Structures are given as structure tokens and as C-alpha cells.
Structure 1
Amino acid sequence: MEARQQISKSRVLKVESGESWESFMAQAKSQGSPVFVHFSASWCVPSLAMNSYVEELAMNYQDILFLLVDVDEVKEVASKMEVKAMPTFIIIKDGTPVDKMVGANPEEIKKRIEALVHRSI
């Protein structure tokens, strides 16, 4: 099960349940690792189009934990994070959401991740 695996920061991990979400959040917080979450849906073409871009970001920013949440599979997490449209991207630091972007905009996402990385130094 994904939640029991050691967090690997070099790829996007799929959140399978509310429990795995809590586990990922707890591990990231204890490690001081920021989290980038891609809220997606299998029926949303822009969300699917962003998957490879988010995977590329995960390879380039290995100090950030990248998660994928399918809003239809893990409704409680989408609801808790107030996700109303796909794709939605949320950056979480120390367990608290610090940035939220709605829509497939690779340039803006990269800009915000760069800002996060520079704030963390």
C-alpha cells in the first residue's frame, strides 16, 4: 500500500484514501518537506494533460513531495481542501495550505514552485 512506503520525493505518489492522505501529510510535516498536490479527475482532459508535467516537476524538485488526488476516488480529501474545479494545485507547507492554483497553467505552476523553493532556502 502506498501509505506504508517510504516517501520517495522523486515521483508523484497517488493518494488512495483519506488515511493515506493523513499519512503523507504527517510524514512530510515531520521531515519538513513542502507538498505539491495535483487534484485531478479521470474525466478531466486538462488534468490528465498535466500529469506528465507534474511528473517532470517531481523529478526536478526532489525536496518537495508531489501527490496526486483523484477527486472521485478520494472525495473526503477534495472536500476538506475545498477543491471545486479540476485541475487544482495546492502547495502545503508545515501542514498548512500556502498556495492554490486552479487550471492547467504550467508556467504559473513552475513560477510558484520556484518561489516556494527560494523561500525555503
Structure 2
Amino acid sequence: MSTASVTAIIAIAAALAVASIAGVLHNRRSGVVREAEPADVDVSDLGLSRTGPTIVHFSAAWCGPCAGVRRVVDQVCADIRDVAHVEIDMDANPAAARRLSVLSLPTTFIFDADGRQRYRAAGVPKAADLRSALEPLLA
């Protein structure tokens, strides 16, 4: 085997290792509910509840993982009666997606009763994480 072949094999192996590490790091953030930075965004047209927190879920007909978010959010809303759920089709309402900087689907937000964005998750969040984020907003 020539030196050029060995060098090429090592370069390919290194590229695969770097890509694998980047993929693992990227997927670790998927579905993680994190506190959102306060933003001064008009959310008056989103249909948020004024009596309790609202989970806003951006989806699209072509988004496979969005069905998983829908199931998780429906489960959480069934368990916690004071939480509202609004699903927004990103294709039907791209202006709302732009205002909230939705860059990937699914993206889920939690707004408090005053319409302030409190939490955000890209990917499919866990039901326990949503419940934990909602608890302080219900007190």
C-alpha cells in the first residue's frame, strides 16, 4: 500500500470521526427544553391563553417528528388542565415563524399567561421536561 493510500484512509477516518462527534453533540440538544431569552415580539395573533401558560408548537404537514411533539404535548395538556396548546403550521403562517426565529421543525415554545416567551425546545421534547418547565408557571 502506498503512502498516498494510507494518508487518504487516515484522512477519511478522521473526517468520519469529526462528523460523528459533531452529530452526537448536535443531537444532545434536540428536544431539550431550555429557558428562552426575553424577546419583545408581538404574539397577539398566536391565540395564547390569558389565564394560564400556552404551549405553542410549530409544525408542517411534511414534518415527521412533528407528530411526536403533538403526542407529547397532548399528553401533557391532558395531565395539566390549565395549559393551552396552539399548533401553528409553519407553511400557513411563515410570518409568525420568522418573528419567533423558528429555523427548524419541530420547535416548541412555552408562553406564560402574560404572553412572555419562557421556554423553547427544538426537536421532540420529553413530557417530563415540559411538565417541569410548566410547574413554576402554574404556581
Contact 2:76-2:130 within 8 A present in 1 as well: no
Unmatched runs of 5 consecutive residues or more in structure 1: 1-20
Per-residue CA deviations over 1:57-87 (Å, capped at 9, x if unaligned) read 2211110111111100111111111111101
Of 44, 47, 53, which aligns to 1:24?
Answer: 47
**Highest RCO, 1 vs 2 (Cα 8 Å, sep ≥ 6):** 2
Give the AA of the match of 1:36.
Answer: I
**2:63 alignment partner in structure 1:** 44
Conserved? CA contact 2:72–2:125, under 8 Å: no
Contact 1:36 1:92 in 2 (8 A): yes
Of residues 99, 116, 120 in structure 2, which corresponds to 1:96? 116
Identity over aligned residues, as a percent? Answer: 24
Q: TM-score, normalised by structure 1?
A: 0.68
- Is 2:126 aligned against 1:106? yes
Larger Rg: 2
Q: Unpaired runs of 5+ in structure 2?
A: 1-43
Secondary structure of 2:96's match?
helix
- Distance change in 2, residues 1:100/1:73 (3 Å): same
How large is the RMSD of aligned CA atoms in angstroms? 1.9
> Counterpart of 2:62 in 1: which secondary structure?
coil
After TM superposition, which residue ranges in structure 1, 4 or more long, deviate above 6 angstroms? none
Q: TM-score, normalised by structure 2?
A: 0.60
